[in-house]
């Protein structure tokens, strides 16, 4: 018996091989990871094709902020429930182990198609860009993938619960922590205690609900909130257009004239930021200088999503504590 034949007959004996989904008998059927059998290259190309088509939908959904556990249904209800609102940080949250194993986890595979087979429930131990906020963020070790039912990929459609946050895989990409940390401080070196002269840029990420990718802005290139909001409005106009259209809001021309702040006041979008403590606060309540000192990330949220975010009194309280 050749070694490979031996191997085939042994596969049916080994109880924990993930390829035990072989239909009937001792033949070794080559499955790709997702349990799809044979002509795997054809399958995967079809798969990827489908993924490509739905990529836009998926990635839009993927950046949607939800307060729910990753993989769970993102519902407005969750956001509004009082219990969750006081949790810090808003995302990502620490899912319990059981929930990781539940069917919600395999939806992550579904939604991200070919690409995230193993990446459900993974979090980095260090948040790449903002290592200081690691303490505030919960960390979950990756759950062993064997708990995930395979072959589910073809069944569910893509509109169901995408990954709530851009969940990161532990140790991927394979870049040394030293490098990650060093680069993080390269971008935000003026944040250091010993304070360099303010000539260096202060980049923060800006994300927006429904926008397919993040942008970065240099907070030091603005001197007040007005400048920041005009800049953001210019940056994200293309996205707001889409949304406003669907809400039956004023047409394109009017949109270009209104500043984002007015848009914000119009309750469509709210500009929020994550501060050094990992709390999400509304932008605009503290003095500008203090704001750029504490702001780690910006997010343009849907107004309804941001209900209960730290309103003015709390922000001012915090700033008093800092002073």
* Chain residues that interact with other proteins, rule: CB under 8 A: 3-4, 6-7, 10-11, 13-19, 28, 30-33, 40-41, 44-45, 48-49, 97, 114-119, 124-126, 128-129, 141-142, 144-146, 166, 168-180, 182-183, 186-187, 189, 194, 196-197, 199-200, 213-214
Nearer to other proteins, 114 or 319 (CB): 114
Instruction: Give the C-alpha separation, 164 to 308, whole Å.
Output: 20
**CB–CB of 126/134 below 8 Å?**
yes
Q: Give residue 93's Cα distance to chain centre.
A: 11
Nearer to other proteins, 129 or 283 (CB): 129
Q: Under 8 Å CB-to-CB from 172, ≥6 apart: which residues? A: none
Nearer to other proteins, 86 or 199 (CB): 199
Q: What is the DSSP letter of 130?
A: -
DSSP code string of 161-201 = ---SS-PPPTT-S---HHHHHHHHHHHTGGGSTT---TTS-
Min dist CB 13 to other proteins, Å, is 7
Min dist CB 65 to other proteins, Å, is 15
**Which candidate, 278, 274, 254, 280, places its Cα nearest to that of 266?**
254
Nearer to other proteins, 154 or 182 (CB): 182
Q: Give residue 226's Cα distance to chain centre.
A: 28
Min dist CB 267 to other proteins, Å, is 29
**CB–CB of 243/212 below 8 Å?**
no
Structure tokens at 46: 């079809």
Min dist CB 233 to other proteins, Å, is 22
Min dist CB 164 to other proteins, Å, is 15
Instruction: Give the C-alpha separation, 314 to 294, whole Å.
Output: 15
Min dist CB 182 to other proteins, Å, is 6
Nearer to other proteins, 198 or 226 (CB): 198
Nearer to other proteins, 144 or 304 (CB): 144
């Amino acid at each position: 018996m050749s070694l490979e034949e031996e191997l085939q007959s042994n596969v049916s004996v080994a109880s924990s091989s993930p390829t035990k989904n072989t239909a009937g008998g001792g033949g070794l059927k080559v499955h790709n990871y997702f349990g799809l059998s044979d002509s795997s290259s054809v399958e995967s190309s079809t798969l990827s094709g489908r993924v490509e088509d739905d990529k836009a939908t998926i990635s839009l959904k993927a950046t949607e902020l939800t307060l729910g556990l990753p993989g769970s249904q993102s519902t407005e209800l969750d956001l509004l429930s009082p219990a969750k609102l006081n949790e810090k940080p808003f995302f990502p949250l620490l899912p319990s182990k059981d929930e990781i194993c539940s069917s919600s986890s395999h939806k992550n595979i579904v939604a991200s198609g070919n690409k995230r087979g193993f990446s459900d429930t993974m979090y980095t131990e260090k948040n790449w860009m903002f290592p200081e906020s690691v303490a505030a963020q919960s960390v979950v070790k990756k759950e062993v993938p064997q708990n995930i039912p395979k072959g589910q990929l073809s069944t569910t459609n893509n509109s169901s619960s995408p990954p709530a946050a851009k969940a990161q895989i532990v140790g991927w990409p394979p870049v040394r922590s030293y490098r990650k940390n060093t680069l993080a401080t390269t971008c935000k070196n003026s944040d250091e205690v010993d304070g360099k002269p303010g000539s260096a840029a202060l980049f923060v990420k800006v994300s927006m609900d429904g926008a397919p990718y993040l942008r970065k802005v240099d907070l030091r290139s603005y001197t007040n909130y007005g400048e920041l909001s005009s800049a953001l409005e210019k940056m994200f106009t293309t996205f707001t257009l889409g949304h406003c259209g669907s809400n039956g809001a004023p047409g394109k021309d009017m949109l270009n004239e209104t500043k984002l702040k007015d848009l914000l006041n119009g309750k469509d979008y709210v500009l929020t930021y994550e501060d050094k403590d990992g709390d999400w606060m509304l932008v605009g309540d503290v003095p500008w200088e203090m704001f750029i000192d504490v702001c780690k990330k910006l997010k343009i949220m849907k107004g309804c999503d941001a209900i209960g975010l730290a309103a003015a009194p709390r922000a001012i309280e915090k700033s008093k504590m800092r002073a």
